[in-house]
Chain A
């Protein structure tokens, strides 16, 4: 048991460290994110270890500052999706009629690629800003998450003590909150990790497609888009944020995979 826990901890640690670094980054930045310190696309050197971006702003400072919003937004999406899916999944396991509606809705939303869904919402709601991105990510993420929770909740809902409580006249919310969900802690923790991975993907892609954070905000995905024109002059302006997004996505995904309970189809991630 001790060794197994250690192995999980080792695989979760990089994600925690990177997330903490992204959150603390803005305080570590040596320069202001919106003031030019070098020539546009200046090569690394002097006061700018990673060179300058398309307006000559310090790439390192913008890199340090650009992760917080991505991480905070993704965490928010992951928390909301997990909470909503936990309640909906538990209810649909307890009430098959609700379960059928949830399942049909999930099947339907599967026909909508997440990237197109986020574009649809953010464009139809031009003033929505970050709220629109969060709303779209939650709406698109809940169906998959509900499936996972409902699947895990079904055996719990069919177990003797839940049936006894149900026959004993307990209300639905009591069954959900006190009988079913506490037994799904491991599933919900893994689900949270997987939804965080999916949210990083979606929020970063929204930033890249310029429907998320707007210039002059420092944002990793936006930096990649803005600086791609100068990739030959200062590759670091594009490479550094790409590596940051890539490392965040990979480390969080490996952490989520380590958290998935060993029972069931572990080899198949349920993103």
Chain B
């Protein structure tokens, strides 16, 4: 889970960049750093798959298979080549979209080509809902600081942020699919492999977003509380500006970088939770591919999914960095 409000302070000095040249330089530095981190993670993932006992050939072996068959498949999968060579192949293949070969000999990139856009749609909608709902709830609570509403919102946000997605999903299915029958409990697919109707997206998106809304509402609320201590807010209050105007025009812009960082860290939780939620709702995404990989003990597929997911999270974190640069650059 994310706990990442600390980096804010670290980025503050660099944000003092009023000239476009320095801003561009700073953005390039951030980009380079993020890409380096991603490369490091991918190296760690490859090492983990490599160093832990058991390999893809073992995992897919069937009972009664001879040692010769096993050796042959190992050769077929390229597992008999030196580690350094395979590592180099895997890492250099990644930027070209080659994610390696699954234990069954298929291209991991081909396995993910159809389901991944579906997962991105699910995660993207959940992220959007999280953003809108947590800002609305956070502002609603912040408008009456310390009041019963504020405390109720904060307490329920704390309560739901720790719930595993599958618990939320079970509750949603019981209420909205089985008892009231308003929404479908399973996802049917069109011939092109995408969900057949938007109604089938509602419950998965909700199940994914609910814990993240709890998490981000607290971040929004805390960021607004921090921002409310700034002197220019006192001035605005003394000037007699209406409460909602202060909230929207004076508090929110200052709190935006923190909110962006918080929502960005939710991306990882959303993509991780999607695996669980897709299993429950039979949604045609990466989760179903992973569920198959769990049965087959197919770690190359997991490594490929981690690579793609890491790239998506890197992109979202970069976006949050840019929001921070833009928001603080505009004020100084």
Residues of chain A at the chain B interface (Cβ within 8 Å): 104, 107-117, 119-121, 123-128, 144, 147-148, 151, 197-198, 200-201, 204-205, 208-211, 221, 224-225, 228, 231-232, 235, 238-239, 242, 245-246, 249-250, 252-254, 257, 265, 267-271
Query: CB within 8 A of B272: which of A113, A127, A224?
Result: A113
Query: CB within 8 A of A209: which of B167, B221, B279?
Result: B279
CB pairs A–B below 8 angstroms (26 shown): A104-B40, A108-B41, A110-B313, A111-B310, A113-B269, A115-B276, A119-B275, A120-B299, A121-B52, A126-B58, A126-B297, A204-B166, A205-B164, A208-B164, A224-B167, A228-B170, A228-B280, A232-B178, A235-B178, A238-B174, A242-B171, A249-B164, A252-B162, A265-B226, A269-B215, A271-B215
Nearest opposing residue in chain A for B312, CB measure: A111
Nearest opposing residue in chain B for A204, CB measure: B164
Quick check: B167 and A245 within 8 Å, CB to CB? yes
Residues of chain B at the chain A interface (Cβ within 8 Å): 1-6, 37-38, 40-41, 44-45, 48-49, 52-54, 58-59, 154, 158-167, 170-171, 173-174, 178, 215, 218-219, 221-222, 225-226, 265, 268-269, 271-273, 275-276, 279-280, 290-291, 293-294, 297-299, 302-303, 305-306, 309-310, 313-314, 317
Return the 3 tightest CB-CB contacts between A and B, nearest first. Answer: A113-B272, A271-B1, A115-B272
Nearest opposing residue in chain B for A242, CB measure: B170
Give every chain A residue within 8 A of B309 (Cβ-Cβ): 111-113, 116
- Whole-angstrom distance from the CB of A160 to the nearest CB of chain B? 23
CA separation between A205 and B174, bound complex, in Å? 19
Quick check: A124 and B52 within 8 Å, CB to CB? yes
Quick check: B310 and A112 within 8 Å, CB to CB? yes
Quick check: A209 and B49 within 8 Å, CB to CB? no
Quick check: A148 and B3 within 8 Å, CB to CB? yes
Quick check: A269 and B218 within 8 Å, CB to CB? yes
Majority-rule SS of B interface residues: helix
Task: Using known A-B contacts A124-B299, A235-B174, determine if residue A144 contacts B279 with beta carbons closer than 8 Å.
Answer: no
Quick check: B306 and A112 within 8 Å, CB to CB? yes
Query: CB within 8 A of A224: which of B4, B170, B294?
Result: B170
Nearest opposing residue in chain A for B156, CB measure: A250
Majority-rule SS of A interface residues: helix
Quick check: B59 and A126 within 8 Å, CB to CB? yes
CA separation between A151 and B6, bound complex, in Å? 8
Give every chain A residue within 8 A of B41 (Cβ-Cβ): 108-109, 111-112
Quick check: A125 and B53 within 8 Å, CB to CB? yes
Quick check: A267 and B225 within 8 Å, CB to CB? yes
Give every chain B residue within 8 A of A110 (Cβ-Cβ): 2, 4, 265, 268, 313, 317
- Whole-angstrom distance from the CB of B108 to the nearest CB of chain A? 13
Give every chain B residue within 8 A of A211 (Cβ-Cβ): 294
Nearest opposing residue in chain A for B40, CB measure: A108
Quick check: A249 and B37 within 8 Å, CB to CB? no
CA separation between A144 and B7, bound complex, in Å? 12
Task: Using known A-B contacts A110-B4, A271-B3, determine if residue A254 contacts B159 with beta carbons closer than 8 Å.
Answer: yes
CA separation between A257 and B157, bound complex, in Å? 12
Task: Using known A-B contacts A210-B294, A228-B280, determine if residue A239 contacts B302 with beta carbons closer than 8 Å.
Answer: no
CA separation between A119 and B292, bound complex, in Å? 12
Given contacts A111-B268, A126-B297, 9 further A-B contacts (CB under 8 A): A109-B41, A117-B306, A120-B49, A124-B54, A198-B1, A228-B280, A239-B170, A246-B171, A250-B159
CA separation between A246 and B172, bound complex, in Å? 13
